Amino acid sequence: MDIEIKRDNLVLRGTMEKPEQESYDLALIFHGFTGNRNEALLSTIANRLLEKGIASLRFDFNGHGSSDGLLKDMTVLNEIADAKAILDYGRALPNVRNIFVLGHSQGGVVASMLAGYYPEYIEKLVLMAPAATLKDDAMKGECMDARYDPNHVPDVVNVMGKPIGGFYFRVAQFLPIYEVAANYPGPVCLIHGEGDKVVDQQASIRYYRTCQNSQLHLINGADHMFSSPHFDEAVSLAVDFL
């Protein structure tokens, strides 16, 4: 089922999977940097959750996929604003029992900070290769294939052929990622590939040390997207936890 949510004059577009039962738990699913809601990892998790009787709501953040906005205007902060609007929508649904949040990569950073800001409304949290290293990278002036002066960030930085606004990096340099995440007391499942070349596993290890009620799963050889042969293991860890 297609869903639209308005946030500050932007229309965010998403997909809801809902079981045929009177009440259900709901998982909010957040994609990563320059990604979209229909990536194989996220859609597979949504389908597996549905088989278990758990609803899911996955959205394209502003400037991504079919949602309004420009990619160059995206920041982690306005993605958190998107996530807050999605959480508000989920909270308003009449048949939802508990709300879970799952995020991959930058979506994991957004998920962790949303949980820190709204701990009383989120029952469980799953962080898959959470990209908290984006702050360290921004302070060094690095982002994947891009290099720039971190003390004089340009208005636009081309990352993998895509225009990312300089304000994204200025914001990233000062994000209180772990400080906010530490405010979430609920159960946290961390899943990270030891072969991840995009986000070092140390990000999840630090989350594990920061979050008071967490479990850490490091998958030997898995990359950032948990590609085969590690895909099913990562999906099962997330789904079984929820």
CATH number of the domain where residue 57 is located: 3.40.50.1820
Range of the structural domain that residue 217 is part of: 2-134+177-241
pLDDT tens-digit readout, 11-29:
999 999 999 988 999 999 9
Amino acid identity, position 56: S
- The answer to whether residue 182 is domain-embedded is yes
Instruction: Return the pLDDT at 190.
Output: 98
Do 214 and 189 touch, CB atoms closer than 8 A?
yes
In the chain, how many domains are there?
Answer: 1
Q: Which two tokens stand for residue 236?
A: 């099962």
Amino acid identity, position 21: Q
Instruction: Return the pLDDT at 158.
Output: 95
- The answer to whether residue 89 is domain-embedded is yes
Entry pTM: 0.96
Do 190 and 111 touch, CB atoms closer than 8 A?
no
Over residues 73-99, the mean pLDDT reads 97
pLDDT tens-digit readout, 211-238:
999 999 999 999 999 999 999 999 999 9
- The answer to whether residue 151 is domain-embedded is no
Sign of the CA dihedral running 222, 216, 25, 8: negative
- The answer to whether residue 45 is domain-embedded is yes
pLDDT tens-digit readout, 39-74:
999 999 999 999 999 999 999 999 999 999 999 999
In the chain, the percentage of residues whose pLDDT exceeds 90 is: 98
- The answer to whether residue 51 is domain-embedded is yes
pLDDT tens-digit readout, 162-188:
999 999 999 999 999 999 999 999 999
Q: Which two tokens stand for residue 30?
A: 């957040």
- The answer to whether residue 141 is domain-embedded is no
Instruction: Return the pLDDT at 177.
Output: 98
3-state secondary structure string across the chain: CEEEEEECCEEEEEEEECCCCCCEEEEEEECCCCCCCCCHHHHHHHHHHHHCCCEEEEECCCCCCCCCCCHHHCCHHHHHHHHHHHHHHHHHCCCEEEEEEEEECHHHHHHHHHHHHCHHHCCEEEEECCCCHHHHHHHHCEECCEECCCCCCCCEEEECCEEEEHHHHHHHCCCCHHHHHCCCCCCEEEEEECCCCCCCCHHHHHHHHHCCCEEEEEECCCCCCCCCCCHHHHHHHHHHHC
Instruction: Return the pLDDT at 32.
Output: 96
Instruction: Return the pLDDT at 171.
Output: 97
| Pairing of the two strands 162-165 and 24-30 | unpaired
Instruction: Return the pLDDT at 94.
Output: 92
Distance separating alpha carbons of residues 26 and 39, to the nearest angstrom: 19
- The answer to whether residue 163 is domain-embedded is no
